Amino acid sequence: MALGEGNLLGDGIAVVAAMFYAGYILAIGRLRSLFSTVRIMIWSTASAAICMLPMAVLFEPSLLPPTAFGWAMLFGLAFVSHAGGQVAITYALAYLPPAFSSLTLLLQPVVAAILAWILLAEPVGLMQAIGGAIVLLGILIARRG
């Protein structure tokens, strides 16, 4: 049994992940009124690293990249994708309500699909296009409300 073209177990895991992500955004929004962006990011990143280390050691045979290219990829993921994005979200939560911020974060997969289509010539399927349109319509409705 599946929703769309996916797997029902995967869909369930996605729903649980969405609930954790919503909790994270609400917590960061609350903390942002008390602490600076840098302080929140240091504690958030350190606690996530400590919690994930046992799983990484258990399931990953090698934690350190063996090549310079691997280190470059790790550096890019850590400092551009993770730190850059999370710092921007945390900073913005001091000025925007968490409910609207979390809604606009739904633009991430829409923008990723559009960039993949433009830059990498990846096709956008019908379900992806419908999902993107629903996200954009939802943001428009919320913005007007």
Q: Where are the domains of the chain?
A: 1-97, 106-145
For residue 91, the 8-state DSSP code is H
If we measure between CA atoms, which residue out of 98, 82, 92, 78 comes closest to residue 37? 92
For residue 77, the 8-state DSSP code is I
Burial label, 28 (beta-carbon count in 10 A; 0-12, 13-18, 19+):
buried
**Per-residue CA distances from 126 to 6, 113, 137, 139 (Å):** 14, 12, 16, 20
Residue-wise pLDDT for 99-111, tens only, equals 778 777 888 889 8
Residue-wise pLDDT for 53-89, tens only, equals 999 999 988 888 999 999 999 999 888 888 888 888 8
Rounded to two decimals, what is the model's pTM? 0.67
- To the nearest 10 degrees (0 to 180), the angle between helices 85-92 and 8-32 is 50
In the structure encoding, which two tokens stand for residue 50, read together?
């400590």
